[in-house]
Amino acid sequence: MRDVSDRIQHLRDDFTKFELTEETAGLQPFALFETWMHQALDAEVNEPQAMGLSTVSASGRVSSRMVYLRLAQNHCFGFYGNYQSLKGQHIKAQNRAALLFFWPELQRQIRIEGLITQMAPSDSAAYFKERPRSSQLGAWASPQSAVIKNRSELDHLLEEVNERFKNQAVPCPEFWGGWILTADYYEFWQGRPSRLHDRIIFERSAEQWLRQRIAP
């Protein structure tokens, strides 16, 4: 098989679609986030709500995975999952994390950092109630991040859960719910020609946001 490095080392793209100026960035990072998200939705970017979530274990081991953004309000970014999963264990040990949105169709990315807290159980339950029944059952069936023998074991767990909640509503598990990352740092990246990309950051300072341009 051909070495993968031979296939990727010469891949190139010319970033010419948009620019990011201080004027268009404005002074409020969440407003810019909303503008860019609306533009991604209007452009029918593939799964614009998908974001990389990076967390750190108690021993300092970094882990990243893709999750779906389900709430975005006033610098608060919400997502859901299993509290007993690897990400749940990391967040419990170290509640600082980072998010990454990458929209290649628009040649843009957004990095967001902040502190994470758990949602109120009532908010998690309200969202869980709106999920498809298959997703609700999956949340009960999967011991997320735990080692299992094979796929058949997972299928068997799902069968047991199906039987348990037959002909009744599926309640929200106590081990499942939402988190909120409250942003204190943003970086907006817009691809530009010659790899001289636009990068504008916002850092929280007391009750204000400090906006700066950084070199690509």
Q: Could you tell me the pLDDT band of residue 30, with boundaries at 50, 70 and 90?
A: very high
In the prediction, which pLDDT does 1 show?
75
One-letter-per-residue 3-state SS of 21-84: CHHHHCCCHHHHHHHHHHHHHHCCCCCCCEEEEEEECCCCCEEEEEEECCEEECCEEEEEEECC
**pLDDT, tens digit, for every residue of 126-140?**
999 999 999 999 999
Question: In the annotation, is 195 catalytic?
Answer: yes
In CATH terms, the fold of domain 15-129+178-213 is: Pnp Oxidase; Chain A (2.30.110)
**pLDDT, tens digit, for every residue of 134-189?**
999 999 999 889 888 999 999 999 999 999 999 999 999 999 999 999 999 999 99
* Residue of 61, 195, 199, 211 marked active site: 195
* Placement of tokens 């740092």 in the chain: 185
How is the chain split into domains, by residue range? 15-129+178-213
Using CA atoms, how far apart are residues 53 and 145, in angstroms rounded to an integer?
A: 15
Give the residue, 9 or 163, on which the prediction is more confident: 163
Phi, psi of 11 (to 5 degrees): -65, 130
Q: What's this model's pTM, rounded to 2 decimal places?
A: 0.93
**pLDDT, tens digit, for every residue of 71-84?**
999 999 999 999 99
